[in-house]
Structure 1
């Protein structure tokens, strides 16, 4: 990126309108087949079904100069719907990275450096990544989309180069004027003077500099950068600010040493001087403490008073000094990597608003009221009070606080921090209308808007319908509706509460997100809603339900089972027709068909549009998300167990489908919620987002025994398998061969070699035939297969059924006939090459046939969308190494309808990379979903020594 800028390529659209972009051709390594690259997930196009692997392609691109990259990426962050192109996830990732770069430059988290570019020295700005910024940088590394590094420079180099270029660009925008005014040194002038001028010049190059000057200045600047990064060690100096005792003005600032990795390891400086230690401390903790305080004094000048003591342990501050520490020094110290502990109230908005509403018994004749007796047009009385800390204050008390101009005050026994901006906003609020009447809809919009940045809404007290809606617990507060007439079966209590919530929102004309955990019956609750509406005596327009192709049959069967009176029409395939919609109560279609038939679907008056597996529209810029959003409907409903998978922007996208415009534009949502929560972990922003979205999201977990107490247990266990001698010999040969190839490659080629090595080693762990593909016999050659044979025999002898998942369709094709012959029992085999009818037949046979059997499934083809509760055993023969993917597959059996405990076994070959990666995931369980991502790509970024250690075979594990 620093040399040429930002490379953009398009899928089906055009990016020719991007200013200053130059057309070029780059060789990029992308997933695809011999026909060309596979379409990105955002395109809405079907990926090729076979032959996909990483391949080099010559791709026409547009090169945006590095100096224009920030402007281009800013446009990406707030795309124009009229543009003929839309940004994919990779470009949006760079847009977020650009925001991080601008934030670093704004906060001064950068240093000027002398770098060599093309053999010529240049003055550039470089980021300083310590403390929270270093953690954010690691998050960017973990979440980098593969396409961002398609040029082959590797993850670490690509990310660092991109951030360096963006920070340099941002720094020049922050300080466009000369750093030093006066005469600008010419090409023969001293290098330091020329270098300073280059830091804000259009051309940063410094040609003609003498090598000795370059070495001397470069060394000094390098020392400066290293000193700035010293706070990133395993042990850091920490500061704790404590409040004064009542009647006192003496604040305490305690010094301490703290583990950067485990903040609970905390040792006050007084104990450090007494010789105390905790695990991992350096040999001379006193020297670490003094060195850290010496660095910190540059950020908080008053520390020099404490350093006059030979053994500094802390210091006293008056209220004014404590405020300076809170507002100025503490953020700088945290950004520089020091530990800072502040009182719980610090940093929170001290002044806020409390909104109180009360329902009115008499309605205005000019206002329409919903048929149910309430609606968003209902008038309510409202009152807005000012809140400081935990108490309401009067206008007179506020005026007195403003007159005193004291930044830290104790209000009713609680310390609060006030600033001029908050006080001015509060005084303005006093002058505005503070009580009267509003419609329920106007109140709702006020709650969602949340006041403003200086004066947030911190509390809402509402009764009646608004109280139910705004509580975020409407499903519990609304009287449950009974199982509707025509529903074949009995809804569980929590499902009746879910039905009541859905019906409540629908009567208000609002959409919602039913985010119940997988297997809790989102389908049954949705069908019961349709039946309830028809039982009310209304004959509403049809409901359109959009889902992945794999779920169409499931919806058909569930509708026939639970709601046979509903007329269901499947709008999919070559035989679909427009007149079939008119005679239906429920129309089923797929996301792909919705894109293709948008003009037809837009011409229908829909009572409701439902999106199942609504994470399919989590990226608002995709064709299918835009198509679904363009279909008009009375209300909208999203069904998903994962409303947020990666970023809060996904929640905005799904919410904007359900209630268009309610959360405002994406740019405002990002500024108000996404950036404060994701970047700064702002608790107030998180609380405000929960208050704004809570009324429209219903989330229940099946692990919650108060929700569902009769779901059986899920018992997970690891099954350790040993390699045979043949497997061990093959394994060692693959390691030696592939490590040689890895050591001799770099960039995208190295990454491809690492992934190829892992695939081969996993194939060896499965069976030698899986790697060799020689058609030889299977028995007695694989520890995994031997264990599966034993386990399968026990399962069928007990009269049970089992699901066996494999990542590799080619291995499943070998395994199915062998197991069928070995067990003399049916072994079904479901993979991506089957037709929809064949898939449905296999599922039906497995669920209804009484004979014990195994169901062998390709993880990609059958990991979601299937109900296979006839199985009470699940075996993961080879690991995907993504806990979320494996859990989704397991939940084919562990869901409502399952009456027996489910035994889940994950096969692992001891002494191999399977055991080592499993251990790594266990150590980093909290990061597994983001680091592991979609498979094992993250492993390709390990260095050669780490890879050798990972791949190395432990011979003691061979049988």
Structure 2
């Protein structure tokens, strides 16, 4: 989330080593993608601590075990979630002073394999979870994190639900509908009191008062005739007609989301007669083709996220066709290449315009604050995954206002995803944000914020696609940019180069 959790952790481990004589060993678990960043921060801020970077091939890890680990010349073992499970036979031999789990929401399922192995096979005196998103979907996840940290205190999920779950239920049959506002507030305040001793929360405004704003804009997109046909077939028949054949489909929700993105996602090998069909076949691609030249002309740089690697393939073809210099990071990118790519993209005067990432692989722990625009080509059912992705740009070190453009196809499943996301964000707002776990807020402050959140209406998602003028207003960060964008639109119209969505097939 860009709050400096890594630096604070390095400072903590260094402090207890130098001032308390506690030199470990400590076990730090982090996503594989950010391990190099952790190693670099230890080298930069605490070079006297010996860090065992436990990663690599099975042979690489064997050499580490027979070398640095067998000699005991380390204070910290730094590794990722998969290896702490795969190599538990070796790593469980140590009695660790502390376990520190970066992106601690990985433990949101109390019955997960990772949670079970850490509980049953490892020994820790202290446990810390670092996360900017302790609640992603439901209050049950908060209990799971508390149970992992303090299993003797938070030992029953049933009791936790019985005490605190009512205000966060959504169905009209739920108890939340039977409680009045005062009763809901009372329960939430009680929850805040219970978890306050175990949670330290910082917001970006507290950590970096000069951090520029982040503005989120939902960009309404249309469907091409080809997409409409596919979407209707999936909805009504659960299959796609393809010439003389047909494609039967599993997971209807995923197929509808694919239809919203691009019709090529249902094709294996296909060469269009007109290369511009890559753009005109998809409403989102038409918007993207409108937006990117304007962002480039006004000096902005872009992070673009998608859930689907096949969408990234299509986008890659598009960027190459338009001549944009870009990078791509997804689940197949190895750890060392990630570090090199980040350095190249973040270099002063870097000529890379776009960094394209899969939301799950590129949404955690990466510092890409040299970009000031984030485009969510499609959204995750879990809004915190999107939040994490957006915050690759909106983090400490960002000097410009960050604009987040969320592409949503009007009247489709994507609007449902947005509504569900807002419901989940409301849970986080009531439990975490309104709790103000920062040792500075008063009860009155917390009560006032909580009342405001309780009274907010559900976000009304419109059904109208944005006009070019409205799109320019969403995109522009100044009146000067509005003028530039209007001139670019006029020039495209005059030259006859303005594309139109694909007509009836």
If the length of structure 2 is used for normalisation, what is the TM-score?
Answer: 0.69
User: Within the alignment, does 1:734 sit opposite 2:233 as a pair?
Assistant: no
SS of equivalent to 2:333 = coil
The answer (yes or no) to whether the contact 1:816–1:828 under 8 Å persists in 2 is no
Q: Which structure would you say has the larger RCO, counting Cα contacts within 8 Å and 6 or more residues apart?
A: 2
Q: How far apart are residue 622 of structure 1 and its match?
A: 2.6
Cα distance change on mapping 1:821 and 1:841 into 2, 3 Å: farther
Pairwise CA distance, 1:551: 2.6
Please say if 1:896 is aligned against 2:396: yes
Give the Cα separation in 1 of the matches to 2:361 and 2:76.
Answer: 26
The alignment's TM-score, normalised by the length of structure 1, stands at 0.38
1:927 and 1:848 map into 2 onto residues whose CA distance is 37
Q: 1:538 to 1:882 in 2, by over 3 A?
A: closer
Q: Does 1:826 align with 2:325?
A: yes
Q: Among residues 659, 670, 676, which one is paired with 2:163 in the alignment?
A: 676
Q: Is the 8 A contact 1:568 1:584 kept in 2?
A: yes
CA distances 1:23-60 after superposition (whole Å, capped 9, x unpaired): xxxxxxxxxxxxxxxxxxxxxxxxxxxxxxxxxxxxxx
Q: Given the alignment, which residue of 422, 445, 450 partners 1:925?
A: 422
Change in Cα spacing, 1:838 to 1:909, as seen in structure 2 (3 Å) is: same
Shift of 1:795: 3.0
Structure 2 residue aligned with 1:81: none
Verify: 1:636 aligned to 2:127, yes or no. Answer: yes
Q: What is the Cα deviation at residue 687 of structure 1?
A: 4.8
Q: 1:953 to 1:826 in 2, by over 3 A?
A: closer
TM-superposed CA distance for 1:742, in Å, is 4.3
* 892 and 778 in structure 1: CA distance in 2 versus 1, 3 angstrom threshold: farther
> Do 1:738 and 1:753's aligned partners in 2 also have CA atoms closer than 8 Å?
no
Partner of 2:375 in structure 1?
875
Q: Work out the CA distance in 1 between the residues paired with 2:251 and 2:188.
A: 43
Q: Tell me, what secondary structure is at the counterpart of 2:165? A: helix
Q: Deviation per CA, 1:94-127: give whole Å up to 9, x if none.
A: xxxxxxxxxxxxxxxxxxxxxxxxxxxxxxxxxx
| Residue 755 (str. 1) matches residue 243 (str. 2) | no
Aligned ranges 1:401-412 → 2 under 5 Å: none
Bigger Rg, structure 1 or 2: 1
1:699 aligns with 2:201: yes
User: Structure 1 stretch 770-779 or stretch 585-594: which is displaced more?
Assistant: 770-779
2 CA distance for matches of 1:839 and 1:541? 29
**1:562 aligned residue:** 45
Match of 1:781 in 2: 280
Q: Name stretches of at least 5 consecutive residues in structure 2 with no aligned partner.
A: 167-174, 177-182, 240-246, 428-460, 469-499
Contact 1:789/1:819 (<8 A) preserved: no
Match of 1:606 among 85, 90, 96: 96
Could you say what secondary structure the match of 1:519 adopts? coil
Residue 905 to residue 691, structure 1, CA distance change in 2 (3 Å): closer
Taking structure 1 as reference, are residues 775 and 878 closer, same or farther at Cα in structure 2, changes over 3 Å only? farther
Note closer, same or farther for the CA distance 1:791–1:868 as it changes in structure 2 (3 Å cut).
same
> Could you tell me how far apart the structure 2 residues matched to 1:602 and 1:927 are?
36
Q: Does 1:593 align with 2:83?
A: yes
Determine the C-alpha separation between the residues in 1 that align with 2:110 and 2:384: 23
1:812 to 312, 329, 348: 312
Q: Distance in 2 between matches of 1:924 and 1:539?
A: 43
Output the CA distance in 1 between the equivalents of 2:377 and 2:389: 12
**CA contact 1:715–1:902 (8 Å) conserved in 2:** yes
How well do the aligned residues superpose, as a CA RMSD in angstroms? 3.6
Deviation at 1:545, TM superposition (A): 0.5
Distance (Å, rounded) in 1 between the aligned partners of 2:302 and 2:254: 31
Alignment partners' CA distance in 2, 1:677 and 1:539: 38
Aligned to 2:111: 621
- 1:891 positional shift: 0.9
Q: Is 1:851 matched with 2:338?
A: no
Residues 702-723 of structure 1, C-alpha deviation per residue, up to 9 Å, x if partnerless?
A: 2xx4554211111222334455
Which residue, 834, 840, 865 being the options, matches 2:339?
840
Query: Would the alpha carbon gap of residues 568 and 750 (structure 1) be closer, same or farther in structure 2, given more than 3 Å must change?
Result: same
Q: Does 1:542 align with 2:25?
A: yes
Change (3 A) 1:604 1:804: same
State how 1:36-55 maps to structure 2 within 5 Å.
none
Mark the CA change 1:778 to 1:883 in structure 2 (over 3 Å): closer, same or farther.
farther
Instruction: Give secondary structure in 2 for the equivalent of 1:587.
Output: strand
Q: Does structure 2 conserve the Cα–Cα contact (< 8 Å) formed by 1:608 and 1:634?
A: yes
Return the offset for 1:894.
Answer: 0.8
In the TM superposition, what are the counterparts of 1:143-158 in structure 2 within 5 Å? none
The structure where helix makes up a greater share of residues is: 2
Secondary structure of 1:698's aligned partner? coil
- 1:879, 1:687 → 2: CA distance? 32
d(CA) in 2 for partners of 1:696, 1:836: 33
* Deviation by residue 1:306-357 (Cα, 9 ceiling, x = unmatched): xxxxxxxxxxxxxxxxxxxxxxxxxxxxxxxxxxxxxxxxxxxxxxxxxxxx
Q: Please give the alpha-carbon distance, in whole angstroms, between the structure 2 residues aligned to 1:595 and 1:793.
A: 46
CA drift of 1:875 comes to 1.2
Contact 2:303–2:373 (CA<8 Å) still a contact in 1?
yes
Matches within 5 A, 1:455-534: 518-534=1-17
Instruction: Report if the CA contact (8 A) 1:742-1:753 is conserved.
Output: no
Distance 1:877 1:656, change over 3 A: closer
Instruction: Tell me if structure 2 keeps the 8 A contact 1:882–1:929.
Output: no
Aligned in 2, Cα 1:876/1:690: closer, same or farther, shift over 3 Å? closer
The corresponding residue for 2:437 is none
Structure 2: distance between partners of 1:735 and 1:540: 59
CA distance in structure 2 between the partners assigned to 1:654 and 1:607 by the alignment: 19
Contact 1:921-1:928 at 8 Å conserved across structures: no
Provide the residue aligned with 2:215 in structure 1.
715
Q: Give the structure 2 partner of residue 657 of structure 1.
A: 148
